[in-house]
Structure 1
């Protein structure tokens, strides 16, 4: 008897715990972003579900069902669960909501009336209109005869009959395609440049109205000269690589120890220093292309130089690089000389 009561109690407790866990899980899901579920809200809703807590269902095929927003729109001219059906005459366009006003053979299920009934070819319509009954205004940006012309202005300034009524600054004409002619510029081409033609911008006027500092240009003199130009009004040209061309002063001198158009070549012995104009009066192994002759100091064996940072150069080795290897390069150690060679070869002093 006691055992049966205990079993019933444990079963009831298990149901309570499972119900509590379900409540916690549902609350967690309710806190997820739209289109997601799971303990960490990491799982997208599974088809056909979508939306908040994945409670809504798509009525379209899986490839058109978005886990956040549901069924996607079909492309223009198509309908059905899988967007597999063409719009039926006289319908066409987005969601098949538009209707052709022409014969069926002239009605395209995507774009509407074509051929004689098309808005671009109906010659009986007045300027600015199209359609089988000529009761539609040309859609922006088209206007004029058979809606063949296009506005280059904002939609609010494009008249379906006459075209642009207000052009953007720097342009004129019914389509606003023509740039203002020198010396005019700006809105309606009503303003006049007081500078030479090459400095007169059809939109903003004179570009060099300020006396810019050397190396700069522009209406506010904030733009640096572009390579290879430099100097006053950016009229001078660098003959060196871009990394060595200063927008103010032009080609810069190479750093000490280097020469060449792009300063990629090291000074050749016995030359060293700025523009390689100085001459070493010491042996090549002690002639640094940047500093010249390096003074000797008490370096470790196998090293030399101002900071003792240079290995002895083959065939020299040892203290102050005074000894010479009589073996091949691969056997000559810069510290101890020839390796694996008879001892007398190690101690031949440099001549």
Structure 2
């Protein structure tokens, strides 16, 4: 399915894999040219899904169609699938060129044609000058691009990327992420990316599928996911305070919590979010504030994040607040300090659950 619709071209899968007490039950579809990211915490089932697509983990039930052709019974080596593994798994004794040519050679392509194809791919990756270099002499970013070229050399109809940037340091990751996005934009078939890094998912993918406990809990564009999270995991990733309750007009009666005045009128079950930066803290109950939302809280944690201080609060409404270092110093905050937290209704965002 793709937003509830079957797709004939591209990927159409219902992956059911049972492994001990864990069960993956995931519907996944993508059209040619689309990059889908599976995003979720460790143990959610992302890698199991990728292994099922590659043929490394057999399906317990379900289906796996690629361009209308069933793949469930095909062994991995016969599937039109390319894989970029987390640690790249380049052959240490082969040059970059021979690493990339290896896949086509295994599929019956002549040595000359395989090396020509490999050279063209390395040139596209900006690695023509490293063709004769072995993996141990490549930088992390270069090794990642060689691994991508090797996966593309067999001209797959499905490209799988397992945490492709995880092995890189922060500076290299930024550069290679941008390069990888350009290469994926040129890929005409389906690409499925597994990651637990929200920035990788937001930058590289056209669509996100958030997986928790073996199931999809939310699906949409990166902007939709960031704007309207539906689980605590997603809210934490995108940096929002998230609550659920029952809406009556502008009021949202939070489950087990206070009533919050929201930015819009709703009726029925609803989510409500606001960013930590929207929270204002006071040492004493403010008399002149225009904020309709005001709660008595206690400092449970303080953490420096760049030029901001993240304050974790418990009390009438557990929440996170971001302050400047100057504001935090002026408030003289310490663990256990009682404060008042306020959020203006206009800075909240309510939406149907």
TM-score w.r.t. the length of structure 2 is: 0.21
Which structure has greater helix proportion?
2
TM-score w.r.t. the length of structure 1 is: 0.21
Identify the structure with bigger relative contact order (alpha carbons < 8 Å, sequence gap 6+): 2
Which structure has greater strand proportion?
2
